[in-house]
Structure 1
Amino acid sequence: MTEDNDLILLDRLSKTFGDRTILNKVSLNLHQGEIVGLIGPSGAGKSTMIKVMLGMEKADGGEALVLGKTMPNRDILAELGYMAQADALYEKLTARENLIFFAVMKGIPKSELVLQIEHAAKVVDLDRNLDQRVKNFSGGMKRRLSLAIALLGKPRLLILDEPTVGIDPALRRQIWHELRRLRDKGRSILVTTHVMDEAELTDRVALLLHGQIIAFDSPKKLENDYQADTVEEVFLKAEAKMEEAEA
């Protein structure tokens, strides 16, 4: 069922809360050296999919493999960079102290620690704020620090849940430039977003609606298939087609 270069493999993954179906037999894969985008409106199931995949929530059916393993699995944590939708930071510490703490947790050698922290901080434009306490940061600055933490350790696989929420357009472009640079070096990235423009920057994009993936392919292929100019237009047409089929 799995291919050697599938760093994420979801097979008919299902999750319910009470009588609500959050994930309905979702299948998706992520190859080495590609960016897969997961887009959909709030409440579509994007964050739940990531939590089930990483073992934070128990699946009701199907299978989820990350780096060939069922999560949670401590042995592969060092190869993952994860950014949650909610920031998990030590607000009494400075940004630098947060980065040092998580770098040590990831087992980054002391010889690389300073350079890695400086690079990650520069990517998210926090290099001038490293010695400020996080409790004084804006919401957008906290998101940027969470992303910098995820980038530490040169992980094989990045899983980023809404990484650019609250970030200005210029910095968003800078972050996507870095993600594509990492992709070109063979890293793999799963990124969720509700910003449809960002979907155009992925190698493949999955459209998630009502707990189902209603389309999954490269942005250009989807635009051709649906005779659309943008991924946003593809989403609207795919949604209409789905509702028509259910009527």
Structure 2
Amino acid sequence: MTAPPLEEGRRADGPAVAIEVEGLSKSFGGRRVVDNLSMRVMRGQIYGFLGPNGSGKTTTIRMLCGLLTPDAGRGTCLGLDILTQARRIRAHVGYMTQRFSLYQDLSVRENLEFVARLYGVPQPERAATQALQRLGLEGRGRQLAGELSGGWKQRLALGACILPGPDLLLLDEPTAGVDPQARREFWGEIHDLAAEGLTVLVSTHYMDEAERCHEIAYIAYGKLLAQGTVANVIAAAGLSTVTVDVKGVGHEAGLLVARLARELSGRPGIDMVAPFGTSLHVSGRDPAALAAALDPIRADGRLALRTDAPTLEDVFIDLMRRSKDEMR
């Protein structure tokens, strides 16, 4: 059975909105996993969802697509009410979970044809062939899914998700454990899909992937702490960053980086210290106080200090450091 037609879901004052929720909350066993979360995702947008493990990302995704009912809050997904029209929402959503969920003992083609028949896609054999061609899997149609590498399993899972023609794609850490080339190819396909009008919500731990999104949101321990474009999230953090490069390589350089990190952490004017190889990213919210805190090490000939723009990873680490784990 094919999915029923969608309502328009358009706002009178602007372009179409794919997801708009307000005050979402969800608890398990007396612990609030998602706490008063509000967000908006525009149609055709790639929206990145960041946060530490256990922060509520997966629970939020499941509430958005109708797999979980929130304890409080309201909202729409694809113009449909998440509280009363969950079944209709699910008919228009492709959901790619963290774990490969297709049949390991079926071939690549058999898996795709099965999904096509399950969703009532016309001409399932032809639809499977088109999916194989689109994702570069045509030479692997007869291979058992369980024999595929992580990158090829990822492609197959994506092909199965988009085969029924969803309007929203939910990807829950889809590239975990996949090599960099496969991740880049995957993201190239995601951008192609978004250009065709598909809305994509993706959770990720990779900063380079977050930077490929049109907008991002950072959630920690159930609370949404930041959202917007990458540039806006970095600017809103209010961080000033100085990179301290340690001259030399090997064990001695590593020891010096570790010692400096301990010495600088907690100094007045320094809010965050993060090692990156033989460098340190040192950040604070008061540029003058940060400069004063670093003055004692400027004369050290083994070090080179330079002012840098804060990175998304700096902001991510700072937000995580300041987040309170209320579930301990």
Letter in structure 2 aligned against 1:59 = P
Matched residue, 1:133: 144
TM-score, normalised to structure 2, is 0.66
Separation in 2, partners of 1:87, 1:39? 21
Is 1:234 the counterpart of 2:309 in the alignment?
A: no
- Structure 2 gaps of 5+ residues are 1-8, 240-308
Distance change in 2, residues 1:22/1:123 (3 Å): farther
Q: How does 1:129-168 map to 2 (within 5 A)?
A: 129-168=140-179
Q: How does 1:200-215 map to 2 (within 5 A)?
A: 200-215=211-226
Separation in 1, partners of 2:74, 2:157? 28
Equivalent residue in structure 2 for 1:60, among 71, 74, 89:
71
Q: Deviations over 1:8-43 (max 9, x none)?
A: 122111111113211011111111111100011211
Please give the secondary structure, in 2, of the residue aligned with 1:183: helix
Is 1:180 the counterpart of 2:191 in the alignment?
A: yes
- Structure 1 gaps of 5+ residues are none
Is 1:197 the counterpart of 2:208 in the alignment?
A: yes
What is the CA distance between 1:104 and its match in structure 2? 2.1
Matched residue, 2:109: 96
Please give the secondary structure, in 1, of the residue aligned with 2:80: coil
Moved more, 73-82 or 203-212: 73-82
Is 1:85 the counterpart of 2:166 in the alignment?
A: no
Runs of 4 or more, structure 1, over 6 Å off, are none
The alignment-based identity, stated in percent, is 36
Asked whether the equivalents of residues 20 and 77 of structure 2 are also in contact (C-alpha less than 8 Å), the reply is yes
Matched residue, 2:48: 37
Looking at CA atoms only, which structure, 1 or 2, has the larger radius of gyration?
2
Separation in 1, partners of 2:61, 2:109? 27
Matched residue, 1:26: 37
What is the CA distance between 1:122 and its match in structure 2? 5.0
Moved more, 199-208 or 83-92: 83-92
Separation in 2, partners of 1:187, 1:19? 37
TM-score, normalised to structure 1, is 0.86
Distance change in 2, residues 1:127/1:232 (3 Å): farther
Asked whether the equivalents of residues 160 and 192 of structure 1 are also in contact (C-alpha less than 8 Å), the reply is yes
CA RMSD of aligned residues (A): 2.3
Aligned length: 240
Please give the secondary structure, in 2, of the residue aligned with 1:128: helix
What is the CA distance between 1:153 and its match in structure 2? 3.0
Separation in 2, partners of 1:160, 1:37? 10
